[in-house]
Amino acid sequence: MGSRNPFEPRQVTSRRGGPVKQPLSRDAIVAAALDLLTREGLEGMSLRKVAAALDTGPASLYVYVEDLQELRTLVLDRALAGVETAGTRQHDWRHRLTALLESYLTVLERSPGLAQLAMSTIAAGPNALRFIEALLGLLDEAGVDQPTAAWAVDLINLYATAIAAEQGQREPLTNPLGPLLRVIGSVSAKEFPRIHAARDELLSGEGPDRFAWAIEVLLKGILHTPRRAPGDDAPPTGSPTRRKSRRPR
Amino acid sequence: MGSRNPFEPRQVTSRRGGPVKQPLSRDAIVAAALDLLTREGLEGMSLRKVAAALDTGPASLYVYVEDLQELRTLVLDRALAGVETAGTRQHDWRHRLTALLESYLTVLERSPGLAQLAMSTIAAGPNALRFIEALLGLLDEAGVDQPTAAWAVDLINLYATAIAAEQGQREPLTNPLGPLLRVIGSVSAKEFPRIHAARDELLSGEGPDRFAWAIEVLLKGILHTPRRAPGDDAPPTGSPTRRKSRRPR
DNA sequence: ACCTGAACACCGTTCAAGT
DNA sequence: ACCTGAACACCGTTCAAGT
């Protein structure tokens, strides 16, 4: 029909009848991928489907994205933009830490497969950094010394991610039952007496209650396990190593 | 050449020049799959490759195995057979708990991709149950009450699995550097002052030291966070719930 | 009952060819 | 420089056909 404007290339009606086809860009690709992930899960976020959603072929994406792994990293950080790190000034650090972690969990649970992706991706984008920065701030407020806080961030982050991944895993399944604990109700008292005896407790508890309990455990443990004893400024010279290293890394 | 004996069907020299081709069986399939997983990682354990290793076509496996997901579950439990749950009588519960977890970790690290598999699989086979039974026993020795121990098992198990999965993830990568922390060395002091200040601490520490510290955190936290206060036999009627539920499950 | 070849509906990635 | 069709080397799963 009209002449082509090179600055707005190929204004074509989209397949889904949307207004206009966006020109390809890294951002558009990541946005489409996150949309697919949210609607169809991790398996649904293939390069071919992302390309199809953008009305192009899979080969076109390689201009903007190294490979699938890089796309996943970008998608994860884009999703983490939804994590609330602001934090109301009103509450104490404990409330705000819980709120921060619940926000993180909510974001991971909103897109099925995102938590799985978070478990298998390095995730050092700006939004992951913002999350870590906020965690460090709250631990500082809590009175945790810096070396301890540094490791604690890792522990908390890993646990929260793992919880989300585990819950995401059993969402498509049947019941609101436990994680690796479902066969447990019918376990033999002879072979596994303790599991049998504790089977009701093993299966009890809503996810959020367990999460809140676990966070309490982590915080209480962190507050009572400084990497250096309170008055111990210099690293000990005798080096009373905790345990023998399992292997060098 | 000779006549075929129906009880030992198809005695054919294996592709790899091994002695004889085993008749197909669930056990042989799982063994071949675990072998592939150990040697080639999670991607290498495809149904087609397992079939090829057994000198047959992929369709043949479906006689013994429901689908890939079931095969993964079986492979995981077979691998967990390597976890040492016996425990020497000599040491205290703390030593034995650490030894148990290190055995679990060692098994998960021996086969690259196994930890990932453990994160995405329910794993309620006999060997997973044996591991849980042992954990419950040690927590009981430690004086942890049963309701607390039940949730603690889940927390410890999830953390250990997640640690292994994270470490397995960066094994094919370059350096002995941190988990989501590598860009962190060059992070802007303006944008992320706390990360910048703590960057050395964030990157410090060998994997085993961090793991030992984390286990100490978990144990100390668990010992100090009973689900019910020590003298509190009945659940409280007023139900002072910890926090509002995020959503029903 | 067990096994299989062939097909189906997918993958990620590459590359020569087009604009 | 950006985009693409076609191909390559894979997937899991199904099914009719063989023994």
- pLDDT tens per residue, chain B (249 residues)? 333 222 233 333 333 333 345 678 999 999 999 999 999 999 999 999 999 999 999 999 999 999 999 999 999 999 999 999 987 777 899 999 999 999 999 999 999 889 999 988 877 789 999 999 999 999 999 999 999 999 999 999 999 999 998 877 764 444 444 445 567 777 888 999 999 999 888 887 777 888 999 999 999 999 999 987 555 554 443 334 444 444 443
Sign of CA dihedral A175, A181, A182, A184: negative
- Do A204 and B147 make contact, defined as CB atoms within 8 angstroms? yes
Alpha-carbon distances of B218 from A39, A146, A148, B5, rounded to whole Å? 36, 19, 14, 59
Out of A124, A151, A180, name the one closest to residue B123 (CB). A180
Mutation site, B194, B196, B203, B220, interface A, largest A CB count within 10 A: B194
Q: What is the Cα–Cα distance from B245 to B229, expressed in whole angstroms?
A: 21
The CA distance from A147 to the nearest CA of chain B, in Å, is: 5
CB A154 within 8 A of CB B178: yes
Structure confidence at residue B162 (pLDDT): 92
Q: Which residues of chain A have pLDDT under 70?
A: 1-22, 170-182, 229-249
Residues 6+ apart with CB under 8 A from B33: B45, B50, B71, B74, B75
Out of B163, B166, B194, name the one closest to residue A133 (CB). B194
Amino acid at residue number A27: D
Structure confidence at residue B219 (pLDDT): 96
Residues 6+ apart with CB under 8 A from B27: none
Name every chain A residue with its beta carbon within 8 A of the beta carbon of B129. 183-184, 187, 191-192, 195
Q: What is the Cα–Cα distance from B174 to B196, expressed in whole angstroms?
A: 23
Name every chain B residue with its beta carbon within 8 A of the beta carbon of A157. 180
- Do B204 and A136 make contact, defined as CB atoms within 8 angstroms? no
| Among candidate residues A44, A34, A56, the one with its CA nearest the CA of residue A125 | A34
CB-to-strand D under 7 Å, chain A 32-71: 56-60, 62-64
Total beta-carbon pairs less than 8 A apart between chain A and chain B: 225
Name every chain B residue with its beta carbon within 8 A of the beta carbon of A149. 198, 201
Tens of pLDDT along A73-96? 999 999 999 999 987 777 899 999
Alpha-carbon distances of A182 from A5, A157, B133, rounded to whole Å? 61, 27, 15
| Closest protein residue to C5 (Cα–C1') | B57
- Do B154 and A198 make contact, defined as CB atoms within 8 angstroms? no
Q: What is the Cα–Cα distance from B218 to B228, expressed in whole angstroms?
A: 18
Task: Render B24-44 in DSSP notation, one character per residue.
Answer: P-HHHHHHHHHHHHHHHHHHH
Which nucleotides along chain C are within 7 A of a protein C-beta? 2-7, 10-16
Structure confidence at residue A246 (pLDDT): 43
Residues 6+ apart with CB under 8 A from A138: A87, A93, A96, A97, A100
- Do B146 and A197 make contact, defined as CB atoms within 8 angstroms? yes
Structure confidence at residue B229 (pLDDT): 58
| Closest protein residue to D10 (Cα–C1') | B48
Structure confidence at residue A86 (pLDDT): 85
The CA distance from A18 to the nearest CA of chain B, in Å, is: 34
Out of A124, A163, A209, name the one closest to residue B182 (CB). A124
Model-wide pTM > 0.85: no
Name every chain A residue with its beta carbon within 8 A of the beta carbon of B201. 146-147, 149-151
Q: What is the Cα–Cα distance from B34 to B31, expressed in whole angstroms?
A: 5
CB A196 within 8 A of CB B136: no
Name every chain A residue with its beta carbon within 8 A of the beta carbon of B248. 206
Nearest nucleotide relative to B57: CA against C1': C4
Amino acid at residue number A102: E
Mutation site, A102, A180, A224, interface B, largest B CB count within 10 A: A180
CA angle centred on B206, ends B202 and B207, rounded to 5°? 95
- Do B98 and A243 make contact, defined as CB atoms within 8 angstroms? yes
